[in-house]
Amino acid sequence: MSVLAFTNRRLVRLTVILILVPFLFLTAFSQARPAQTKQQQQKPKATVAVLEFEGRGIKPEEAVSLSDVFQGVLVQSQQFTVVDRNRIKSILEEQGFQQSEACSQVECIVQVGKILKVEKMFAGVIGRVGTRYTVNIQVIDVTTAQILSSKPRQHDGKIEELAGDIIPEIAQEIIEELTGRRVSTVVTTTGGGSTWLWYVGGAVLLGGGAAAALLVSKKETPVEEKPKALPGAPTFPN
């Protein structure tokens, strides 16, 4: 009887193992397969480079700063592999280009792009006529040597507003055109553009609301009045 019970227990254990092992294997395989498929669906990021923008009527360092703003938005979007600016400068110097302004034609930009081994190049021109600024940023395909996109803008205002609003807007439009995705980018500024006004305005509203709530709470809280002395009451020495 004991031998039969022992044999039955062994059969039960063996049956449980035979049922559980395939189930566990299928569960692990189903969990690993979606992750692997997701990795296969992710396309490699396109490698791009941003040339220093050419300045016409503005200081060269201002044009360089605006190109840095444009490149910063590309990097922040995490949609591209952006070539480091120092590497671009060193390669331009090695190839005989003293400055990026010497390479403003499409043929030259394509040549630099092939040397950098990038897929797309970004070049821009920032000009000023009187108080009006003109911006034109182009996207150039290195393989086909074609201008894929050109983004002209005109702006009446301060140059700081180009860095705070105009350049980031153009960069976001280009990113969405090249990737087909809606990308949200935020440029943090401390003195120029309208972006910082939203943060300051929000802080003022929040602060004002808090102050108003505090005043209301103080008005609604009853204040204990000190007992008034009766007229003609005797006073005692302290």
Q: In sequence order, what are the residues at sequence separation of 6 or more whose Cβ sits closer than 8 angstroms to the Cβ of residue 186?
A: 76, 195
Q: What is the mean pLDDT of residues 35-47?
A: 64
d(CA 38, CA 15): 36
Candidates 166, 147, 142, 148; CA nearest to 156 is 166
Contact 137, 73 (CB under 8 A): no
d(CA 138, CA 150): 4
- The predicted pLDDT at position 30 comes to 55
- Kindly tell me if the per-residue pLDDT of 106 is higher than 50: yes
Nearest 10 degrees: Cα torsion 84, 85, 91, 95: 150
Measured in degrees and rounded to the nearest 5, phi and psi for residue 30 equal: -70, -30
d(CA 119, CA 113): 7
User: How confident is the model over 178-188, as pLDDT tens digits?
Assistant: 998 776 655 55
pLDDT interval class at 43 (50, 70, 90): confident
Measured in degrees and rounded to the nearest 5, phi and psi for residue 54 equal: -85, 130
Domains of the chain from N-terminus onward: 46-179 (3.40.50.10610)
Q: What is the mean pLDDT of residues 8-14?
A: 63
Which amino acid is residue 137, in one-letter code?
A: I
